[in-house]
Amino acid sequence: MPIFVGNNGSDDFVARGSGKGVAIGSTDTTGRNAGVSTAIGTMIFNTSTDQLESYSPVGWVSVKKLVPAGIQASGGIVNDYTEGSTIYRAHIFTASGTFSVSETSTDFPNTLQYLIVAGGGGGGAYGPSGGGGGAGGLITTVPGVMPTTATELEVAVGDYPVVIGGGGIGGQAQPGSPSVFNSLTANGGGGGGYYPSSSGQTGASGGGGRAGDNSYPGLGGGASPNSPSQGNSGGSAVGPGSQAYGGNGGGGGGAGQNGSNAPSDRSGGAGGNGVQVILAGPPTYDSIGGDGPGGQKQWFAGGGGGGARTDSGGNWGAFGPGGYGGGGSPNHVPAGYPTGIEAAISSGGGGAGSKGGNGASGVVVVRYQIASADTGTAKATGGTITYVNGKTIHTFNKTGNFTITDSSLTSVDYLVVAGGGGSGLGWNNTFNGGGGGAGGFRTGTGHPVNPSPGVYAITIGSGGAGSNKGSDSTFSTITSTGGGAGGGNSSSPQAGQAGGSGGGGTSHGGTNPGPGNEGGFTPQEGYDGGSGTPAAPNYGGGGGGGASESGSAGSGSTGNPANGKGGDGALSSINGYSTRYAGGGGGAANTTAGAGGAGGGGAGGATAYGSEGGMNLGGGAGGSGGLSSGIPNRRGAQGGSGVVIISYPT
């Protein structure tokens, strides 16, 4: 008697074998889920998962893998690719999150190769010429990249936390923050030399020295002793010179080489080069990292260039270039002191004569071997293309083009998140800065696209520097508005700015609410920033608004954990798993600063710098706090860059 396994025994769903067995029908996850009144006991081979599945009283359950399989995990941006004859799956984290292993492999090694890069140090400032920021520490399992190769990590089922270190704020040359994967830590880069100090800071890579007054040029900061090694030393400055004229700053150290000493002519020292690490995808993959020689992709951890001035009055000298891999290189501003260009994702701060550039955020990449990639036939090009649950997903972390190649594609789903707002600065134990508002959040389904000509420009908004609004992100007719900056300046309290979400108000001197209705956008892109508090001595700045709620008002209560909290961001599953975007930055305070909103909001500082917003999440930056003594002000932190994600059926 023949045996049938199928939907109500119908052989149009499951074919009979030729007397030697039973042929199980195959379909993908979309086709499986489209079944109506599926009978308990129905079996299929799911081509999306390469899994034999059966319909049970609790739904579809796996029976047996029929082909070899690697680790099953989630987290970050997932990219499958082939290297030679080996297929890899990479998980790319530009913002903090979790790498979750749901199943280990019986067919391939349960070990991970990884790249961990910390935040770069901020460039130095104030005085003749600041030193370049040192690159964030770099740890990798790729042989030959660093003097010591890290050991691959064996994993089991469970969650592995990922922390992405923020770049240090320039000016007072804040060091970069560590990046952490599980128990592995890459240390932050050292800040460049700044007034009144001269020497660059010690860090994973050391900062460059500041050109000191008269005959006291600063020495480059050393590389911290780490095992495995993580970077190199900064370069020294040259003098003599007065504070008004002369002297050149040293370059920050990079992962690949030391920062250069400033030459004796009118130039700053070059930042040390970073290194190329191919783990996220093919050598042409450019969604992360800086460029290297000849436009090579995936270079990381370049040092920042040193600032320069002349040895006789009046003219600016040439600045040191940032190292390959994202080091910042200062920018000439004829009307005043030069500022630093913000470094690209990959770490390394820019040095400058007065306002040092911010260091860049870090990144974590992990990869492992799999049997077959989740593939499909994309109907367009652009961004990082992945295939999840029957959908083709294009993720843009950088500006580019979405180009339709299949005329059957006439509508798409989208998520467009703008850059988050920078936070307000703190001033001389008098004001505490407000948190930056999150970048505007817009999402929708069935958005019409025209296959002819079928080219849509994608703009990814950058995060606003301290006290500046974030930039807009765009796709087609959809524009998300940059987040409003948090209030804060050196002379009077300020309200937060309008934006996709409003910035929080600065503290003290009266209430300073964020703008109403987040700027009045239709449709609404976010929420208001919170008010600052006038209460002394424990006053706090307001939290920036997020995509799902307003920022909290600053509090005068000592130790209040809700003090100036940033508004939480909103959830989206457009990338195949639930992710929260566009959290507001927390307000600064003299005691307990406000926490950042979930979804990339930076934490406020307690008489300290705030944290930058989450990269590619549109997070608002955390407010910077005032000091009771010493340096009279702290620059605000930088908001996180935005993201555009486009999805359609495979």
**Domain map of the chain by residue range?**
7-65, 68-373
Instruction: List, for residues 60-86, the tens digit of each pLDDT value.
Output: 776 655 566 789 999 998 889 999 999
Reduce the secondary structure of 256-303 to three states and give it as a string.
CCCCCCCCCCCECCCCCCCEECCCCCCCCCCCCCECCHHHCCCEECCC
Query: What confidence score (pLDDT) does residue 356 get?
Result: 76
> Which of the residue ranges 98-107, 344-353, 486-495, 553-562 has the most confident prediction, judged by mean pLDDT?
98-107
Q: Which of 442-451, 482-491, 553-562 has the lowest mean pLDDT?
A: 553-562
For residues 556 and 643, give the distance between their C-alpha atoms in angstroms, rounded to a whole number.
36
Contact 588, 540 (CB under 8 A): yes
Contact 208, 249 (CB under 8 A): yes
Contact 582, 599 (CB under 8 A): yes
Instruction: List, for residues 513-535, the tens digit of each pLDDT value.
Output: 555 456 667 789 999 998 887 76
Query: What confidence score (pLDDT) does residue 644 get?
Result: 97
Give, in order, the Cα–Cα distances in Å from 481 to each of 128, 283, 558. 38, 33, 35
Report whether pLDDT(4) > 50: no
Give, in order, the Cα–Cα distances in Å from 601 to each of 79, 97, 428, 432, 551. 26, 13, 25, 17, 11
For residues 396 and 384, give the distance between their C-alpha atoms in angstroms, rounded to a whole number.
7
Instruction: List, for residues 346-360, the tens digit of each pLDDT value.
Output: 344 555 445 678 888
518: helix, coil or strand? helix
Partners of 89 in beta bridges: 80, 368
> Which candidate, 185, 192, 224, 229, places its Cα nearest to that of 211?
192
Q: How many CA atoms lie within 13 A of 628 on its CB side?
A: 7
63 secondary structure, DSSP code: E
> Which candidate, 628, 641, 622, 642, places its Cα nearest to that of 174?
622
Give, in order, the Cα–Cα distances in Å from 443 to each of 418, 479, 571. 12, 11, 10
For residues 276 and 181, give the distance between their C-alpha atoms in angstroms, rounded to a whole number.
20
553 secondary structure, DSSP code: P
Q: Can you give the pTM of this predicted structure?
A: 0.83
Structure tokens at 143: 């042989």
State the amino acid at position 169 in one-letter form: I
Mean pLDDT of the chain: 82
198: pLDDT confidence band, cut at 50, 70 and 90? confident
Q: Which residue has the tokens 């997020």?
A: 546
Q: In degrees rounded to 5, what are phi and psi of residue 323?
A: -70, 155
